[in-house]
Every structure is written in structure tokens, then in C-alpha cells.
Structure 1
């Protein structure tokens, strides 16, 4: 039985123009490009310029993602209290100063300190807080808004890798970093400001409760979620799937190298992951009126099992490599949209930012630790064992999602 949104979450097309959603979509594209994707885009140049080991540099991103995971529940709470605009704008603006400061570092400690702070900004400006804001604002109509934002922001990786390298080649990586700092400050922050201005938000979403009653409501929402088995089933399912994806993406190039695949072919293959994420989202938009959310989500989980199997079998035939890219890319692309949508449908929209923020914490943490856990599995069993593990993770994630859907239906 579908969940009926509370009155203050009703979607009113006349109040919410597409313009505001486009503004948020382009802002998300820039913060993803300037915060998250800038790291892998400039990693080889940092390694060459600083002379530090690659493992020492990549610790910074792990720390940033861990901080982002810890910050997400607090970001959700701020959004529930009506501070979404300040949060999104402030994180983009202050984050721009941190990205610019990367050009001044000379020691690993300085580098780690800046990325810890950038991780905090990521926790307040990437998909999770943005989708929480959209869900609070648009209620039952949030799915269309989330889909549009995810479709546009799917090109953030392309923007970051292409622009950073175009600038870094003749001018050095510091010019690239400063360029993205300017984009964050002068483009992303203003777009967040415009996309979240009061004229674009549901005036009925403004809380009439006192601060104490709001705080009690958020605490009650967390407590209710923790007592609900569906919450734990969804948290486990999504955490496993992002652990799978983090391992796959991080170890993809050395995995193919171990199988004798040339670096050129491997780079071409992984470069299609991003576009196929967008393609998966487009297909979802085309079929969503005829196919249930549960069916789409089940298909995405199952496809990630097939992705691991295809990559394992590519050891004997490279013709199966495109199947891995297709299944993995399209599925994780759809998953980024379905995660907030399914959470709202299965757990309700009341105090959504608080509940979704808590659920997102283990998901982000899983993605942060995926490279390290993948390296441990590889150390003891090689990449065949890693692919077996990722297949098991995806299969377990599918089973936990089925449990969540079944339990919700029977409740």
C-alpha cells in the first residue's frame, strides 16, 4: 500500500519550477567535480609533484569519505530544521577555499588536514544532503527532481577529468585546482542559493513546531527507524552494494592488468562507467511509469551480481568485458536515484533528512573502506577471490532488499 505523504510535503508544480531543479543539478555537477572527482583526476600529478607514495596520498580520500559519512546525519538534521539552503551554499563556498588551499600544501599532514575538512564539506553538499532537501521540499514529487539532478550530475566525472587535465598539462595542477575553487565559489554556491531560495521551496514545509518539539520529533524518528527491521535491511543492502562498487572501481585497472589486458583497453572500459550510469538513469526514467520501484531496484541488484560474473569470465574472453561495464555502470547509476526514493517510500518522509542521513552513514563508510578491504582480499586470495567476494556482496544485498520489501509489504 503506497505511503501517503504528509500535507506539508505535497508536490505543487505551479510552485516548483523546473528552473530551480536545473540550478541544483548544475550545482551538484560542480561540487561533485570539484570535491570528489578532483582527487582521482589529479592523483597522478600529485604523486609526481609531491614525490609521495600513492598509498600515502590515497589515505586522504579515505579520511575525507569517513568524515563525510560521519557528517551526513548532522547534515540531514540541519535540513529537517529548515537550514538546507545555508548548508548547501556554505559548504560549496567554504569548500572552494579549502580546494584553493591545496595549492599551498608541502607536507602530507597539511594535505590530510585539508581533505578532512573537504570531507566535511562533501557531507553537506553532495547527493545525500541535496536529495534530503529535495525530498523535504517536493515530497511525493521528489523522485522526478532527484532523477533530473542525478542525470545532469552524472557528467561530473567527465567535467573534472577533462577540464583538470586540459589545464594541468600546460599550466600545472595548481591552476586546475584553483579553477575548480573558482567554479565552486562563483558558480556552485550561487546556483545552490538560487535553487533553494524561498520562492522555490514549499512554504508549507516550514515547521510550526517549537525547536524543542522539532528536536523531540527527530529523536523519535531515529528511534522509530532503529526499531524498524526495514531500516536495517535497507542499510545493509545499500552498504554491501557500495562496498562492491568501491572495490570494483578501485581495483579495476590492476585486476585487468593481472589478466593480461592492456592499459589502453582497461582505461577505455572504465571510462564508460560514467556514461553508462547516465544511460541507466535515462532507461529508468523511460520505464518508471510502467515498472514498480521494487522491480527496478531488484533488477539493479541482480545486475551487479552478473557484473562480477562477467568480469570473472572475461579472463577467458574479453568480449564479456563490455557486459561488466554495462551491468556495473547502469546499476550503480540507477542506485544513486533509488536509494533516497526507496528510503522515503519504505520508511516515510517525516523527518526524512534525519532518517536518511543516519542510513547513509554506513553506506558512505563502506565506500570509503572498500579500497582497503579489497586490497586485503587480494593479498590473501588474489583478484579471483575479490570477484567472488563482490558477487557474494551483490547477492546478499539483493536478498536484504527483498527482505525489506517483503517485510514492508506484510507490515
Structure 2
């Protein structure tokens, strides 16, 4: 086993950091305060080819591995930035790359790679179904030339900044599916062509995440925009979600490293009662503990990404990496807030913004409690709890 990053991955890290350094912490604080989308940053990352990294070279991308993409997002967050505006375009690639038709790849991938099309919106979660994806109610009915879709999605982030919408819906096979996971289909929707059939309402949240609920009213989707086979969409989504969980884990790892570096520096510089506060074990131990856990999460993420890149099953490893990374990042966030004391609540130090961002990933894209339930049932063979 080789635990070292390749020379190429180290070069990726440095190149991404150079872009991040152009913007700086105050840019992200301003975006947060004004609830602005980081358009300039996203454009810079797109122009440099990083958001098209997973797209094969024949379609205008870099043909990078998922672990390469993880390195990109980890470094974004390690710089103190917020990679959420970048990650969706990477993880939605999984379904299109693995199950899209050649015509779909030719039509969309080169334009996504050059930035003329944005695929940032993913419609899975619904108000009543929550984490129970098999219980969604959005329905796609077969009609001449395609499908008519009706329903509602929630927590669709970056919809207002996307040209394409990856949408999961029930199809007629759901009436009498051969097995529980049959009957869901995945569609690639042109948001502009959809017109008034799609209506999005922003959801105000505690952090600058640009998320919406989307109402779908008699939307027509041409048959050629069905990804893969009808009724097999749930499996495609799982593959996409494995990529999503690893990319999100990478953001959490990057956050954790930012917190640890920030807290260590402050604890060394800050003097109270005539001594550096970092000399107190009550200050240094929580930071050190968080560092250890972030490093462990990074190793699990690397293992899961290696499995994904080889085409091997990696569902358990991906969710485990997401769990470990988000918990370690939150531990680091709490240690940093405690280290900074009152100053941690001051926006100028950026800790409170990153603290809010880190908390999200304990809940999304999969709740850590659901991860534990899945491990208990499917890995340890314990009774189903949900």
C-alpha cells in the first residue's frame, strides 16, 4: 500500500491553492454576509480546468481520478474557502459518465468542461420522503417522445446557478417493481427549456449554501434525456452519491485542517496570564485530538476513493469516510471556537463562518445517524432500525 500522494496530486494542490490565494478569507466573508454566489471564484476554477477534472480528455476534460478531485476540494476548504459551489458539478459526473449515452456525453460534457454549461443541481430529496429515497412521490409518466414529470424537490442547492438539473423520479415500473429499488429513473433536464414547468423558491439557511425547493409542474423531458435504463435510476444515484460523499468528506477534511492550523497558530500567539494559551493542556489537547482524527479520516477517504476509481464496490467505505471526516471536522471546529474564546464569534476572524459551514456535513448529504444505522444493519448484521 502506498500512502503518499503522487507528484501530480501535489501539483494539483499547489495550483488550486494559488487560485484560492487570489481571493482570500475576506472574499468569502463578504459572500457570506451578502448571501452572494462566488461567481468569480467558480469562473476562475472553471477556466483553470478544475471543475471539469473528472471529464475524460476526449470530451474536453482532464480525465482525472476521483482522488484527484478530492484533493482539489480538500485544498479549497483548507484555504478557508467554501468548496460547495464547486462540488456538485464534480459528483454529478458519475451518473453521466458511467451511464449516459454517447450522444449525451457528446452533447453535454465538452460544454460543461469549458464552462458554457453548468451542471450544479441535483434533485433527489423531497419534503415527505427525507432520507428515504425509495419513498419519493415525484412521478415521470411516459408520453409520446418522452416523459411528463410532476412533483416537488427540496434542498436542491445551486439550482439558480445551474443550466442542467439531474432529476430522480418514479416511472411506471414503480407500480409493480420486481424489487424495492426498481422503478426510479434519472433524467437530465435543461432548465431553460423547461420554462415555467420548473419553479424554484430559495430557502434561507444559517449558511450561504444557495439551496431551493423546486416545484415540478407537467414538465416534459425528451426520451433522449433519460440517463441509462428506465427504472434503474436508484442504482445510478447510489454511484453518484458515493462520489458525493467522498467529495464532501474531502471538504470536511480541508475544513478540519484549516481549523487545526488556525487554532494552533492562535494558541501559540495568544498570551494570557503571562503565558501562551497553547502551553495549557486544556487548550492543546483538543486541537491535537482533532488533528489525529482528521488524519485518520483522510486515510479512510483515500481508501474509499481508490476503490471508487478502480470500479470496486465502495458504498460502506464512502459513507464511513464521510462520517469520520465530518465528525473530525466538527471536533476541530469546536476546539477552534473554544481556543479563540469570544473572538471566535467575531466575523473578522472567520472562525464562526467556517464553524457554521462545518456543521452542515454532519447532517448532509447523509445524516451521520443514518450512516450508523446502515453500518449496524449491513456490516454488523444487526436488526434493521428504520
Report the TM-score, using the length of structure 2 for normalisation: 0.30
Which structure is richer in relative contact order (CA contacts within 8 A, separation 6 or more)?
A: 1
| Structure with the higher helix share, 1 or 2 | 1
Report the TM-score, using the length of structure 1 for normalisation: 0.29
| Structure with the higher strand share, 1 or 2 | 2
